[in-house]
Each structure stands twice: as C-alpha cells, then as structure tokens.
C-alpha cells in the first residue's frame, strides 16, 4: 500500500515536470507556466475522476441485484469474503472476454466485466476472475493503475497544446511540435511501464485465489481467456492502449508501439503459479 502511494506521487510529480519542460520548449516562460498549471490541474482531475473517465470510455453501465443478479451477487459474496466494502459493479458490452477494477481506494472502487467473459466462463471460473479484480482493490493497485491510464492518455493533450500555442500556420508547422507529437506515445508507454509492475498481476492472482478459495478456477479462466481474447478485438482498448494494463488479460490486438503499454506477465507463468498453489 505504502509503495503504491510512493509510485503515485512520483508519477504525479513526473507528469507536472514533463508538462513544464515541454511547455517551456514550446512557449518559453509563459508556456512553461501554462503547462505547469495544466499538469497540476490534470493531476487533481485524475485523482478524483479518472475512474469515471475510463468507465465512460468503455461505455460501461452500472448494474445491481435487480438488473444483473448473477454478477452482482457474485461480487457481493466475494467482497464479503475479502472483507471489502461492496464496490460498484459494471457491465461492458464487448465480445472479448476481459475484466478490470478501478477507483481511488476500496471505499470508492468499481469492478467491470465484459458480456463476453460472462458468456464464456463457467460460474466457478468467473468467480476466480472477479476475486482477482477484488484483490487489486484490496492491494490498492487500482489508484496507480487508473491514474497511469488517464495520465498517459493526457500526454496526448500536449500535442493539442503545442498546436495551439506553438503552431506557425498550415504551411510552416513548428518543428518542435512535430517532434513532440512523434514521441508522445513512447513517453506515455514508458510512464506506464515504470509505474506499473508486472508483479502486481502475480499478487492479484494469488490474492484472488485466496479470496475465492479455488486457485485452479482462476488458472482455468486465464487459459480460456488467453485462448479466445487474441482473436476477438476490443476496439476501445486499441484506440486507448494506455488502459490495457488495467485488464486481467492484455486486450490489445496489435504490436508496434502498443507493445509499450503491455504490463502483463506471460499467461503460462501465471497459470503455473496458480496450479502450484493447490
């Protein structure tokens, strides 16, 4: 928990510094001041609202015991076993089997699952997946994960800032702005790689297995998700690759720069560790 707060603080300080440096390159002292204010405001916004932004991005709809009793009651039972407050529960109308957790703390958490994962997995396997997501909540991984996604996405706003502040007209674009645009995606990817440790997935797998009491169920679920997810694209994730690290399985269909946003360890190793727990 303390380590995640340190990582979050470093990430927030880093984004303010990055905005300031690039703002200074584009617009001098005035540009730096505007960029620093923008970066500080972005941090405040990310802390309070980034979870809502991600849920809205995926067109997630909140459900309850009357609209989706199967999923809601499952999460409620698992949250009780984990001694966690009941999180909000969301459904995402996507064919790809996947799930994620978001929020700034266990008291303001949400878990989301795609309709594809509910159709594909057995009840036992789905319990393993939702227990994994609740383990992220219990370990307080969700704050750094959600803020990383929103901050990495916000870096692209630097391009818009540069176009607005440093442009020279359609015929003579500012060369600094052009360079910034070219390096935005790698910077965003590297920020996520530095902020998000791949070991957190192993920790959530272990914690989820302990919450559900069935390590083999999560292992079976991961094997099934890995087999099917690669052939079913998730267009929202492809358009916003910075959110990929939030999912239980990497949802990205392409390589190239998108590979920078992959923070998931090998599925085979995750499965092997779970099976060893038995």
What does the pLDDT read at residue 241? 81
Catalytic status, residue 133 = yes
| Residue 264 in marked binding region | no
Q: Are 65 and 73 in contact (CB under 8 A)?
A: yes
Q: What is the 3-state secondary structure (H, E, C) of 110-168?
A: EEEEEHHHHHHCCHHHHHHHHHHHHHHHHCCCHHHHHHHHHHHHHHCHHHHHHHHHHCC
What does the pLDDT look like over 14-62, one tens digit per residue? 666 766 776 676 667 777 787 777 777 766 777 777 789 899 999 999 9
| Residue 235 in marked binding region | no
| Residue 240 in marked binding region | no
What does the pLDDT read at residue 144? 79
- For residue 76, which phi and psi values (nearest 5 degrees)? -60, -45
Q: How many Å apart are CA 26 and CA 181, to the nearest integer?
A: 12
What does the pLDDT look like over 81-140, one tens digit per residue? 999 999 999 999 999 999 999 998 999 999 999 999 999 999 999 999 999 999 999 998
What does the pLDDT look like over 179-206, one tens digit per residue? 665 566 566 556 666 666 678 899 999 9
Could you tell me the residue range of the domain that residue 172 belongs to? Answer: 2-277
Query: Bridge-partner residues for 91, per DSSP?
Result: 61, 113
Q: Which structure tokens are listed for 215? A: 């390590």
Sign of CA dihedral 54, 58, 64, 68: negative
**Active-site residue among 94, 133, 210, 242?**
133
Number of domains in the chain: 1
What does the pLDDT read at residue 223? 97
What does the pLDDT read at residue 192? 60
Sign of CA dihedral 247, 202, 266, 227: negative
What does the pLDDT read at residue 181? 55
- Is the pTM higher than 0.95? The answer reads no
């Amino acid at each position: 928990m303390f380590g995640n707060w340190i990582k979050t603080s470093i990430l927030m300080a880093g984004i303010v510094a990055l905005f300031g440096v690039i703002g200074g390159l584009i617009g001098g002292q005035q540009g730096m001041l505007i960029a620093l204010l923008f970066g500080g405001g972005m941090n405040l916004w990310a802390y309070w609202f980034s979870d809502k932004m991600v849920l809205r991005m995926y067109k997630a709809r909140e459900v309850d015991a009357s609209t989706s009793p199967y999923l809601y009651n499952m999460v409620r039972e698992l949250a009780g076993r984990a001694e966690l407050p009941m999180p909000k529960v969301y459904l995402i109308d996507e064919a790809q089997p996947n799930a994620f957790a978001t929020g700034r703390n266990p008291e303001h958490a949400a878990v989301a699952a795609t309709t594809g994962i509910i159709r594909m997995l057995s009840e036992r396997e789905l319990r393993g997946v939702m227990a994994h997501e609740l383990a992220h909540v219990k370990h307080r991984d969700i704050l750094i994960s959600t803020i990383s996604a929103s901050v990495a996405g916000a870096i692209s706003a630097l391009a818009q800032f540069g176009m607005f502040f440093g442009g020279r007209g359609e015929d003579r674009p500012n060369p600094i702005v052009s360079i910034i645009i070219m390096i935005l995606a790698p910077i965003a990817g590297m920020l996520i790689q530095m902020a998000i440790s791949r070991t957190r997935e192993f920790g959530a797998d272990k914690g989820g297995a302990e919450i559900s009491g069935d390590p083999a169920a999560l292992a079976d679920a991961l094997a099934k998700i890995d087999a099917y997810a690669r052939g079913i694209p998730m267009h929202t994730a492809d358009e916003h690759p910075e959110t990929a690290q939030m999912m239980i399985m990497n949802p990205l269909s392409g390589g190239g720069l998108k590979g920078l946003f992959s923070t998931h360890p090998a599925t085979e190793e995750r499965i092997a560790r779970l099976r060893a727990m038995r």
